[in-house]
């Protein structure tokens, strides 16, 4: 019964979160465009599915992914083996990113655009190789980003200085990278922080900061996602320079 009540609360919260965008779409469709919604039954059914999808996703995060991420981080911290912790951080970043649907979509689209633009040949093998190379490059960069973020938590380094240095590197690489890769690189920094990566990486950071003496979860537990957004931009621009 408690689980059902919690699920219903999450469902109401999901609908409340979706309500603003529903009102915006309805306003522009009915008032500005002055057209009825096409296929009302289909739209209504889709809205229900979206609410249910968000509900089960959030409920699953709270029930499974957040607890397991925090517990594993705390277990590694108690074990006291830094190398295993860093290895786990890299594997977590790489694995979640390579499985990220948003990255798969961007890499596939980038391969088609690169082929049409003459950067690579129009063959399926060339486009597939370009897409998987781009995905692996981004996944490696996120893995290293999580390692860097975990190392920052262990050492207590100030995050703002590291982020400033990182974006200076992004700006510098932008001056030298091919124009055809810059937009893809910037988008790669966004698609890596999506539905799969964010929950586990956030739980890792909070769990690790909670289990280390002298670390504040609010100050030190967050920030891993910033590194996971930053490094892919740099790595993809380097990837574009190598491909060119």
What does the pLDDT read at residue 196?
Answer: 67
pLDDT above 90 covers a percentage of the chain that reads: 22
**Mean pLDDT of the 95-106 span:** 84
On whether both 24 and 112 belong to a single domain, the answer is: no
Task: State whether 28 and 111 are in the same domain.
Answer: no
Tens of pLDDT along 116-158? 878 788 888 889 999 999 999 999 999 999 999 998 988 888 8
User: Cα separation of 117 and 180, whole Å?
Assistant: 9
- Reported as a pLDDT band with limits 50, 70 and 90, residue 50 is confident
Same domain, 140 and 204: yes
Q: Domain range spanning residue 206? A: 81-243
Query: Hey, what are 27's tokens?
Result: 């306003």
Judgement on whether residues 56 and 102 belong to the same structural domain of the protein: no
Is there a single domain that holds both residue 51 and residue 85?
Answer: no
117 and 225 belong to one structural domain? yes
3-state secondary structure 159-214: HHHHHHHHHHHHHHHHHHCCHHHHHHHHHHHHHCCCCCHHHHHHHHHHHHHHHCCC
Do 231 and 135 reside in the same domain of the chain? yes
pLDDT at 194 over 80: no
Predicted confidence at residue 19, as pLDDT, reads: 86
Higher-confidence residue of 2 and 121: namely 121
Average pLDDT of the chain?
Answer: 84
Mean pLDDT of 40-65: 80
Tell me, yes or no, whether 68 lies in a domain.
no
**Do the domain assignments include residue 224?**
yes
- Going from the C-alpha of 194 to that of each of 102, 152, 174, 200, the distances in angstroms are 7, 22, 24, 11
Tell me: do 59 and 87 sit in the same domain.
no
3-state helix, strand, coil in the chain (%, to 5): 85, 0, 15
Q: What pLDDT score does 234 carry?
A: 94
The answer to whether residue 73 sits within a structural domain is: no
Averaged pLDDT, 169-185: 91
Residues 12 and 118 in one domain: no
Specify if 71 maps to a domain.
no
Other C-beta atoms lying within 10 Å of the C-beta of residue 140 = 19
Report if residue 69 sits inside a domain.
no
My answer on whether 85 and 57 are in the same domain is no
Q: Does residue 189 surpass a pLDDT of 80?
A: yes
Q: What is the mean pLDDT of residues 85-108?
A: 86
| Cβ–Cβ < 8 Å for 33, 70 | no
d(CA 152, CA 210): 14
Say if residue 231 is in the same domain as residue 169. yes
Domain total in the chain: 2
Residue 88 near residue 72 (C-beta atoms within 8 A): yes
In this structure, are 110 and 171 located in the same domain? yes
Confirm whether 230 is domain-assigned.
Answer: yes
51 domain residue, yes or no: yes
Residue 171 has pLDDT above 90, yes or no: yes
Nearest alpha carbon to residue 137 among 107, 170, 112 = 107
| Residue (of 84, 175, 83, 193) closest to 138 by Cα position | 193
Q: What was the pLDDT predicted at 165?
A: 94
| 141 in a structural domain | yes
């Amino acid at each position: 019964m408690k689980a059902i009540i919690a699920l219903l609360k999450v469902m109401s919260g999901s609908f409340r979160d979706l309500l603003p965008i529903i009102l915006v779409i309805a306003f522009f469709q009915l008032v500005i465009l002055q057209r009825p919604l096409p296929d009302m039954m289909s739209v209504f059914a889709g809205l229900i599915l979206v609410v249910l999808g968000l509900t089960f996703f959030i409920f699953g995060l709270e029930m499974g992914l957040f607890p397991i991420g925090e517990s594993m981080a705390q277990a590694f911290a108690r074990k006291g083996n830094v190398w295993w912790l860093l290895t786990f951080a890299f594997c977590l970043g790489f694995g979640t990113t390579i499985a990220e649907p948003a990255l798969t979509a961007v890499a596939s689209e980038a391969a088609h655009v690169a082929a049409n633009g003459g950067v690579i040949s129009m063959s399926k093998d060339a486009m597939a190789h370009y897409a998987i190379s781009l995905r692996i490059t981004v996944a490696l960069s996120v893995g290293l980003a999580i390692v860097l973020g975990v190392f920052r938590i262990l050492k207590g380094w100030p995050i703002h200085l590291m982020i400033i240095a990182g974006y200076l590197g992004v700006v510098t690489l932008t001056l030298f990278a091919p124009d055809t890769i810059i937009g893809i690189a910037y988008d790669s920094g966004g698609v890596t922080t999506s539905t799969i990566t964010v929950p586990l990486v956030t739980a890792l950071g909070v769990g690790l900061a909670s289990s280390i003496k002298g670390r504040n979860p609010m100050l030190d537990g967050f920030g891993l996602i910033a590194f996971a957004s930053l490094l892919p931009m740099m790595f993809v621009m380097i990837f574009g320079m190598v491909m060119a």
